């Protein structure tokens, strides 16, 4: 396996997923960036505190989703009645659970790189307690994730509604089950009109950026550091362009993933419990 592919595979496994997320591939296309930045970030990603911060954001998203999506029409029973079988429904739930944990972790990573653009050191205030293996991690690693072609309905409509060239990765993954996504999108497309839904997406973005100080180890990824690592001006600009472009979309997709799961009755909080 070429060294670049081996690094991408290592990053995927650190996030406990069976595929290389698109934003990681995009950053990996900038020669030298991940080779420099990932070794700094990896020890923090592999801590209990990093996962805890990510899952706290998931609970934040779910609070807002439940406030505006209290009576989903695309329920388990409705999907089964519409021709989706139990096996496919279980597969949809498995893929959604992968993104449910993955997206907030990626958001924290991108937020750290965004903050690093503006200061010479980011992080170092978090605890270095290692993340313990869990059955859920094992399940995510064992879950195959496939991506439908961009012309698969309703992906073109999703991209248009979100103002993107192509639909986000979450949607490409669940579009492999059109009997799920077609009716689900009929409901989900209306959620973005709710101010509370949009506000919470923005709040996740800012929470992730402020939370970057709690990385267990500090990182240096400001322009001077990247240039010292061998990246030219064009490469530095590409890195920050990828980061700045992906951040708000990931925060929004956290909201959409929570809404998809809520429609299936999956509303258990991850870290915030009452009483």
Predicted confidence (pLDDT) per residue in 208-263, tens digit: 999 999 999 999 999 999 999 999 999 999 999 999 999 999 999 999 999 999 99
Average predicted confidence (pLDDT) for the chain: 94
Residues with Cβ within 8 Å of 256's Cβ and at least 6 positions away in sequence, in order, are 168, 170, 171, 188, 191
Q: Can you give the residue range of the structural domain that contains 50?
A: 3-140+183-263
Rounded Cα distance between 214 and 5, Å, is: 29
Residue at 93 is within a domain: yes
Residue at 268 is within a domain: no
HSE toward the beta carbon, residue 93, CA cutoff 13 A: 17
Rounded Cα distance between 40 and 29, Å, is: 18
Residue at 212 is within a domain: yes
- pLDDT for position 275: 39
- pLDDT for position 192: 80
* Residues 58-95 pLDDT 10s: 999 999 999 998 888 889 999 999 999 999 999 999 99
**Is pLDDT above 50 for 12?**
yes
Q: Can you state the percent helix, strand and coil of the chain, rounding each to 5? A: 65, 0, 30
**Residue 85: left if φ>0, alpha if ψ -120 to 50, beta else—which one?**
beta
Dig out the tokens for 27 from the structure: 């950053």
- pLDDT for position 17: 98
pTM of the model: 0.95
Domain count of the fold of the chain: 1
Residue at 204 is within a domain: yes
Stretch 130-154: mean pLDDT, rounded? 96
Residue at 25 is within a domain: yes
- pLDDT for position 70: 83
Dig out the tokens for 94 from the structure: 């498995």
Residue at 90 is within a domain: yes
Residue at 240 is within a domain: yes
- pLDDT for position 132: 92
Residue at 153 is within a domain: no
pLDDT above 90: percentage of residues in the chain:
89
Stretch 13-19: mean pLDDT, rounded? 97
């Amino acid at each position: 396996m070429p060294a670049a592919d081996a690094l991408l595979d290592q990053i995927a496994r650190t996030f406990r997923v069976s595929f290389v997320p698109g934003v990681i591939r995009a950053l990996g296309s900038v020669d030298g960036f991940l080779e420099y930045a990932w070794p700094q970030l990896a020890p923090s990603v592999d801590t209990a505190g990093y996962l805890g911060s990510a899952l706290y954001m998931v609970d934040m998203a779910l609070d807002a989703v439940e406030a505006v999506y209290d009576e989903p029409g695309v329920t388990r029973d409705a999907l089964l009645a519409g021709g989706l079988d139990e096996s496919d429904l279980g597969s949809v739930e498995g893929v959604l659970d992968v993104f449910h944990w993955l997206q907030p972790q990626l958001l924290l990573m991108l937020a750290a790189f965004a903050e690093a653009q503006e200061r010479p050191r980011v992080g170092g205030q978090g605890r270095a307690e290692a993340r313990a293996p869990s059955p859920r991690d094992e399940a995510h690693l064992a879950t195959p994730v496939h991506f439908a072609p961009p012309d698969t309905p309703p992906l073109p409509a999703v991209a248009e509604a979100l103002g993107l060239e192509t639909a986000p990765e979450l949607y490409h993954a669940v579009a492999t089950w059109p009997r799920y996504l077609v009716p689900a999108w009929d409901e989900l497309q209306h959620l973005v009109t709710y101010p509370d839904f949009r506000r919470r997406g923005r709040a996740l973005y800012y929470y992730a950026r402020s939370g970057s100080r709690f990385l267990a180890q500090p990182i240096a990824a400001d322009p001077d550091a990247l240039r010292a690592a061998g990246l030219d001006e064009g490469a530095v600009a590409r890195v920050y362009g990828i980061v700045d472009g992906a951040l708000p979309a990931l925060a929004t997709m956290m909201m959409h993933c929570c809404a998809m799961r809520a429609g299936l009755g999956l509303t258990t909080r991850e870290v915030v419990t009452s009483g």
